[in-house]
Amino acid sequence: MALAALLTCLPALAQTAATPEAREKSAQTKPVSTTDKQSTKELPSLGRVEVIGSSSDTDQRRASTAAKIIIGKEDIERFGDSSVSEVLKRLPGVTTGGRPGRGGDVRMRGMGGGYTQLLVNGERMPPGFSLDNLTPDQVERIEVMRAPTAEFGARAVAGTINVVLKEALKKTLNEIRLGAAVEESRGSPSASWTRNDKFGESVSYTLTLSANKSDTRDEHDTRTRWYDLGSGAQVLDQHDTGFSTNKRDGLHLNGRVHIAMAPGESLILMPFLMLSQGTSEAQGQLDQLPGGAIAQPYARYATTSESRFTSLRGNAQWQKNLGEGTRLELRGGAGSGNSESHGTRQEFDASKLLTRTTDDQTNTRETGWTLTGKASHQLESEHGLVAGLELDNSVRRQTRTTLQNGLPILTEFGEDLSASSMRVATYIQDEWNPTKQIAAYAGLRWEGIETRSDSDAYRVSNRSSVATPLLHATWKPDEKSRNQWRTSLTRSYKAATLQELIARPSISQRFPTGANEVGSPDRAGNPNLAPELARGFEIAYEHYLGKGGLVSANFFYRHINDLIRNVVALENVSWSADKRWVSRPQNVGNAIARGIELEAKFRLDEVWADALPVAVRTNVSVFDSAVEKVTAPNNRLEGQPRGTTNLGADYKLRSLPISLGASVNITPGYDLQISDIQSSTVGAKVVTDAFLVWFINPSAQLRFSANNLLPRDYFNTSSVLNGTQRQDHESANQSKVRWGVRLELKL
């Protein structure tokens, strides 16, 4: 009955409810009234009294019509993580692609490759930006939206993660944080400063400056074996072992200035600066058993590289209340990102004679601007109408030089690439409350993208447009119920990236000349890619507890058309007289993804009256997917595990000024069939984190952390068929404990 009543309201979604701003405002906890002093004196002693207010993060989640999870400052900083991606791995349905404790690309529902829309302050970041480079000290909150909305955009097949940087606060704050982390005797210090203050009565601001250094060392162990399919005999055995060291310095600055111009009118300025530079070195040794199917390409190698990334962006936002529930907002921004890298690789034979040197130098500069306008109107009939227009333009200029033994290669493609991308989007949405038990949302968004390159070697023009209707609704069994149901019907998409459309060929390091092998293909782009389109359905049940906790279950389904996947094929290429194996992105047909996400947050004394007030946070997600044109079993989407589990708890001691806690993140291993000739196995990841906070006084606290407390090696394998051979690759990557300490001062 509950589901039927919920779905009944969906066809009526031609009108909507209160605006998101009004809905969040209504979700705030009302102040608790207190008795006067005289009355208090007359009361007998009650012993220990505990006052509990519901979490504003939970309130906002409960009030939102579209499914939204909000992670506040306390949860972000709890474990002293070194990157935002490490924070995100504990959220329901979120996984990361790196080795344990190393962060990596962030994926909702295990869907990588651009299915998750990542925003900072509601905007997409330039190429080269990674959440691994963003420190938690800069972040005010994280918003996770499981289904797309018209306002935030429909390039979110798996969902959207919006990282909101520090905001201007009403109270004055001057906070300094000094930290250090150690991993196998390699130190990584960090420092940050946050200042919130006012100039007079009309200007408030926040400024966050953070600096960090990282120093890590990683070992690798890779085994390559080839087998003859007819006889089963091993025809090649190579063993590659070595290590790499990485050093990186980062400086981040972001601010927010709020200027009250007139009653109902304000201007917000938001500068953002990120500087990052690093060096890395690697050494390896390749051992090969005699009698192999191919000659040993080298015995040893050494690489060095330097990189630098700079991103500068400024945004301005003007807001004005026009009266009678009407609000106008204009937002503009411009920025520039510059990425430079220079790498050298040297290969030696068994007698330590230098046999080959490759030198690759790339400089990429991307500039862009955005302009958005949004108008909202609140009707007396509980409808909140919002309409908007978005424009953004980006231009990429890249210079790349690749030398082999001092001579240029791939000369027919030139060294310069110039490409541009223009996006236009418009949307309208209506959010309303038909009754006190039902909240509904209807949105329609149209978005068009044109990518163009006029370079002689990369003459490309790709144009696509998508219209996305979006429906959301919530239903409560009764007005005061702690239970509610959610459902969503959506359309979303994933556009091909500039790199996928226009990619200068990248030559296999193992086989740079002549014919290569299927297991070591060259890589190139495909200018004829179409966007992926996805139809989505979600239904969720949520039960909210009395002390800010909740229990929820969410089911999702996505049907994807024109799936983009890298396909390895033997091609006639312009850069070699021999046929070469080349990996290119292709539209390979349809796929489905589905799963269920379970979450529980509560205090033990809510379940057992005599228990300690231990805060428990746990979630379990199960994923499944199938690619239509790939033979089962294991024809899953790339990067999607079968699920993920998080178990966490923390407790504030009553007798001591100490808070402590721990969490375990588990991502099981899985098998993947990529194509008829390609398959892989991804190993399990188990990451255990712990923290302890000593509250020295109201203005100072000391935080101790241990990340990846029980390290274990991370194993991966891949297999590819080449006619009469099967080529297997096995890799083992070590993971390590990271110990941290941080002093947090409020001046």
pTM listed for this prediction: 0.85
Is 175 in a helix, a strand, or coil?
strand
740 within 8 A of 183, measured Cβ to Cβ: no
444-455 burial: b if 16+ Cβ within 10 Å, else e: bbebebebbbeb
| Residue 361: exposure state from Cβ atoms within 10 A (0-12, 13-18, ≥19) | middle
Q: How confident is the model at residue 39 (pLDDT cuts 50, 70, 90)?
A: very low
Give the Cα separation of 36 and 274 in Å (integer). Answer: 51
> What is residue 382's predicted lDDT score, i.e. its pLDDT?
81
Rounded average pLDDT over 56-63: 82
305 Cα distance to chain centroid: 26
Of the candidates 638, 631, 517, 636, the residue with the CA atom closest to the CA atom of residue 566 = 638
Give the Cα separation of 420 and 366 in Å (integer). Answer: 9
311 within 8 A of 250, measured Cβ to Cβ: no
Q: How confident is the model at residue 170 (pLDDT cuts 50, 70, 90)?
A: low
393 within 8 A of 419, measured Cβ to Cβ: no
Residue 13 scores a pLDDT above 60: no
**Which structural domains are found in the chain, ordered by start?**
2-27+52-495+531-561+591-627+630-746 (2.40.170.20)
Give the Cα separation of 641 and 95 in Å (integer). Answer: 9
429 within 8 A of 375, measured Cβ to Cβ: no
> What is residue 55's predicted lDDT score, i.e. its pLDDT?
47
Of the candidates 363, 352, 214, the residue with the CA atom closest to the CA atom of residue 283 = 352
Which of the 8 DSSP states describes residue 607? H
> What is residue 126's predicted lDDT score, i.e. its pLDDT?
65
Is 137 in a helix, a strand, or coil?
helix
Q: How confident is the model at residue 104 (pLDDT cuts 50, 70, 90)?
A: confident
pLDDT for 488-517, tens place per residue?
999 999 998 888 888 778 888 888 888 898
Q: How confident is the model at residue 101 (pLDDT cuts 50, 70, 90)?
A: confident
Rounded average pLDDT over 26-53: 37
Q: How confident is the model at residue 36 (pLDDT cuts 50, 70, 90)?
A: very low
Residue 410 scores a pLDDT above 90: no
Which of the 8 DSSP states describes residue 122? T
Give the Cα separation of 174 and 208 in Å (integer). Answer: 10
Give the Cα separation of 224 and 240 in Å (integer). Answer: 8
Q: How confident is the model at residue 607 (pLDDT cuts 50, 70, 90)?
A: confident
Give the Cα separation of 485 and 487 in Å (integer). Answer: 7
- The Cα diameter of the chain in Å comes to 97
Residue 415 scores a pLDDT above 80: no
Is 136 in a helix, a strand, or coil?
helix
Q: Dihedral of CA 541/548/142/215: which sign? A: negative
Which of the 8 DSSP states describes residue 506? B
Q: Dihedral of CA 57/168/74/96: which sign? A: positive
Report strand pairing: 116-120 vs 159-165: parallel
What Cα–Cα distance (Å) separates residue 368 from each residue in 124, 162, 422? 11, 20, 10
> What is residue 169's predicted lDDT score, i.e. its pLDDT?
62
* Cβ-based neighbours of 419, under 8 Å, separated by 6 or more: 395, 396, 451, 452, 453, 455, 458, 460, 498, 502
Report strand pairing: 580-587 vs 522-523: parallel
Give the Cα separation of 118 and 659 in Å (integer). Answer: 32
Rounded average pLDDT over 356-365: 94
Residue 70 scores a pLDDT above 50: yes
Amino acid at 365: R
pLDDT for 446-494, tens place per residue?
999 998 887 766 677 888 899 999 999 999 998 888 899 999 999 999 9
Q: How confident is the model at residue 62 (pLDDT cuts 50, 70, 90)?
A: confident
> What is residue 462's predicted lDDT score, i.e. its pLDDT?
86
Which of the 8 DSSP states describes residue 634? S
> What is residue 546's predicted lDDT score, i.e. its pLDDT?
79
Of 270 and 127, the structure prediction assigns the larger pLDDT to 270
What Cα–Cα distance (Å) separates residue 393 from each residue in 131, 527, 687? 22, 19, 40
Give the Cα separation of 484 and 267 in Å (integer). Answer: 37
Give the Cα separation of 709 and 458 in Å (integer). Answer: 48
Tokens encoding 7? 């779905």
Give the Cα separation of 592 and 637 in Å (integer). Answer: 9
Of the candidates 175, 65, 93, the residue with the CA atom closest to the CA atom of residue 476 = 65
pLDDT for 267-300, tens place per residue?
999 999 999 999 999 999 999 999 888 989 999 9
477 Cα distance to chain centroid: 35
Residue 654 scores a pLDDT above 70: yes
Give the Cα separation of 231 and 213 in Å (integer). Answer: 53
Residue 572 scores a pLDDT above 80: yes
pLDDT for 659-708, tens place per residue?
999 999 999 999 999 988 899 999 999 999 999 999 999 999 999 999 99
Give the Cα separation of 726 and 705 in Å (integer). Answer: 45
Rounded average pLDDT over 96-104: 81
Q: What percent of the chain has pLDDT over 90?
A: 61
Is 92 in a helix, a strand, or coil?
coil
Give the Cα separation of 584 and 675 in Å (integer). Answer: 13
Amino acid at 232: G
Mean pLDDT, the chain, integer: 87
> What is residue 639's predicted lDDT score, i.e. its pLDDT?
87
pLDDT for 521-532, tens place per residue?
999 989 889 999
388 within 8 A of 376, measured Cβ to Cβ: no
Q: How confident is the model at residue 44 (pLDDT cuts 50, 70, 90)?
A: very low
What Cα–Cα distance (Å) separates residue 511 from each residue in 297, 372, 412, 520, 717? 8, 48, 19, 7, 21
Of the candidates 387, 470, 375, the residue with the CA atom closest to the CA atom of residue 425 = 387
Residue 7 scores a pLDDT above 50: no
Residue 215 scores a pLDDT above 90: yes
